[in-house]
Amino acid sequence: MGSRQGSMPAKAYLLLEQGDFRAMPASLPEAAGVKWVNVHPQTPTRGLPTIMAIIIYNDPQTGYPLAVMDATDITAYRTGATAAIASKYLARQDSHTLGIIGAGRQAYTQIQAHAQLFRLNLIKVYDRSREAAQKLIGFFPEYPLKECSLEETAACDIVCTLTPARVPFVKMEWIAAGTHINAVGADAAGKEELEPAILKEAMVVVDDLRQASVAGEINVPITNGIFAIDEVYGTLGEIIVGRKQGRKDRNVTTVFDSTGVAIEDLAVAKLIYEKAKKSSSYMLIDIIEVSQ
């Protein structure tokens, strides 16, 4: 999006009593497709992930469906990678502590991605479920993970909030000067993890302004008149391509409002499709008969 070479309408939401579905279309040069993804918070009790997804990947020249692929893992990994890239540009380069609030599926990819870019001396973990926190810690014996209180976990150089909260729980008083926050959990209208005072004092960057304003961390403060769209500094894409500068002040708090953008999913799908095609490691099905 930062290079303005793709096209991406805003997500379309289908709200249900038990959860919701999102349709996420996008196109890039030589690629087009749509991700169909759900968020059902209660499904882990049935042995299913909270978030599941598929991608339909099409030939943009003809519209022919080239592939249907699982996107549950794509969603998890691209979200973790995007937040880590945001940290690369917005966190202090000497950041050594990472706070993980919410020990679900997304916590795993956040840790994996951030560990590639930062030398982490301590990764603090908080979840209301001690079982979930301990499971996460046990999964990464190679990293310095420690279960901590919510307040202690918020006191890190980089903090990732990964919950479905609808009442803000991260308090302004816990956040030290210079902290970078990846606000990932708020991805639908009404969701909110951070006290609005944090946003008012921070340099706020979004992945997509249209989506963030109605479904990201800033959506509730905007609705309540506490925060304005013009207070957003810019998009992560603008910073990556150099149209705007990243962190300017060592002591400023920065927030990345991550709603998840389809263009990232499509870019990953394109890479997977091209690799699979080269290796012939895929199942071939004639979904639509081609006339000769």
Q: Is 191 a catalytic residue?
A: no
How far is residue 254's CA from residue 251's CA, in Å, rounded to a whole number?
9
> Could you identify the residue written with the tokens 């022919």?
64
Type of residue numbered 122: L
Task: Please pick, among 11, 35, 88, 191, the residue that the annotation labels catalytic.
Answer: 35
**Which residues have a catalytic role annotated?**
35
